[in-house]
Structure 1
Amino acid sequence: MDSETIPGSASSSASSMNNSSNNSNQRSSSLIQQYNWYYDKTELKRTPSILDGISYEKERMYRNEGARFILNAGLQMKLRYDTLATGVVYFHRFYMRHSFKVFPRYVTAACCLFLAGKAEETPKKCKDIIKIARTLMDDNQFSTFGEDPKEEVLTLERIVLQTIRFDLQVEHPYKYLVSYAKCFKGNKDKIQSMLQMAWTFTND
């Protein structure tokens, strides 16, 4: 982590001042590429996990289990939907760079929820997330947290941040759903029902 210059840091700014404008443009182009989180079907079938011998179907199952944990734990902690959605996005982005064989999914999910809480200004203590995790998992699943679950999550937090390149802002569709719903005229109950259905589809 120390060997990589963080975009926007003091050392990065000083380096920019000493380089030519051409190099600056190249770096800007590189950053845009680094922050592109959209993938085509070919890339989705060549993830680190799949290249590590995990089948496409099993990887999807692991992703679903991690996302489900974030939602279940977050709802028990009464976190907002945007916080939960942010945690799920972090989780999926992380595993586009790393393998499930290397990083246990439930530890990563707990870490992503912890990080999302801070990013969305709805912070929860790490120990409280771990306490909820213990109630949602069997002994075998919780054993992946090791002897010191809190330290395991906090250590992984640094790796997650580096992996997602400190790109913490995630734009969700919820605000657009509400805005569009306000544009409709007619039966309020039907509009509310339609909004709820769209909200459910978004969560799925």
Structure 2
Amino acid sequence: MEINLTPLATLSQIKETPSRRDGIPADLEDDLRAYGAKMIQQAGILLKQKQVAMATAQVLFQRFWYTSSMEKYGIAEIGMGALYLASKLEECPLRMRDVINVYDLLIQQAKHLKSHDISTFHYEPMSYFSQTFYDMKDALIVAEMQLLKRLGFYVDVSLPYGTLVNYLRVLNLLDDGKACQMAWGYLNDALQTPVYAIYPIPVIVCASIFLVIRHLQLPLPSERESELRWWELFDASYDDVWLVCGLIMRLYRPRSQADQLRPSQLLTKKDVRRWLHDHK
């Protein structure tokens, strides 16, 4: 019997995610995925966490939403649980209280943005024995348990950075500092999208290199039909590479201020349920 251990979403999960079944529009789900991933990155930076743990947490966060709905779990609590879980998986554990304090800061900051300028924000730390702390502690524990349960305890994450270095070396781009930096940046940006839960690492790495080549107009044998397209060296199809490029580039699309602020006001399941009720 063949066992598939690739933790990628199935076609049925991609066509209709649990959130979409609960009435959450695709564009809002994408925005909440991106905002939740940004919160993980921001929290990790404030906690001086290793990049590998932050990236692992973001991948687990993206996988979770193919098994569960944002109407039942908030992006803040799942992000908090993913960061805490990833810190243990990558052997750089964080203190639970530190994770809670940092997320409390980010949540207060997000609420402040609704009606104020960020420059006027002043953080008020919670009391050491406040009910808010114990509520967030319970939410973190539940989030970690749900991540393990709904992902079937399959929390192994392969990150793309080593693969990127190898591919750039094959394409003679490793000495081009700007190309390397841009490709690395695209891989990090892709963590805000579901691509790591949909496509294998070679396809995502090829997409980041493809974007760099197009942006910097680097000459590679990829245009003429008679020549081998370079992505075929890495067993990636053009259609898949192009689709990943599109998902990454959507992050840079022009958006109104209201659309930019909307995800920051929907951090909990109660916020999402209220939004769904108001938009019925």
TM norm. shorter chain > 0.5: yes
Give the aligned CA root-mean-square deviation in angstroms.
Answer: 2.7
Q: Is contact 1:52–1:101 with CA below 8 Å preserved after alignment?
A: yes
User: Structure 1 residues 187 and 52 mapped into 2: Cα distance closer, same or farther (>3 Å)?
Assistant: closer
Unaligned runs of 5+ in 2: 112-131, 190-280
What letter is aligned with 2:25? S
What letter is aligned with 1:62? L
Distance between the aligned counterparts of 1:126 and 1:86, measured in 2? Answer: 18
Q: Is contact 1:70–1:113 with CA below 8 Å preserved after alignment?
A: yes
Q: CA deviation at 1:180?
A: 4.1
Match of 2:98 in 1: 128
Q: Is contact 1:146–1:152 with CA below 8 Å preserved after alignment?
A: no
Q: Is contact 2:9–2:66 with CA below 8 Å preserved after alignment?
A: no
Distance between the aligned counterparts of 2:59 and 2:173, measured in 1? Answer: 35
Match of 2:49 in 1: 79
Partner residue of 1:104 out of 54, 65, 74: 74
Distance between the aligned counterparts of 1:155 and 1:100, measured in 2? Answer: 15
Q: Alignment partner of 1:124: what SS? A: coil
User: Structure 1 residues 160 and 74 mapped into 2: Cα distance closer, same or farther (>3 Å)?
Assistant: same
Partner residue of 1:137 out of 93, 107, 112: 107
Distance between the aligned counterparts of 1:179 and 1:139, measured in 2? Answer: 40
Q: CA deviation at 1:157?
A: 1.1
The farther-off stretch of 76-85 and 62-71 is: 76-85
Partner residue of 1:201 out of 186, 190, 204: 186
Larger relative contact order (Cα-Cα within 8 Å, sequence gap ≥ 6): 2
Which TM-score applies when normalising by structure 2?
0.54
Q: CA deviation at 1:80?
A: 2.3
Match of 1:116 in 2: 86
Q: CA deviation at 1:96?
A: 0.6
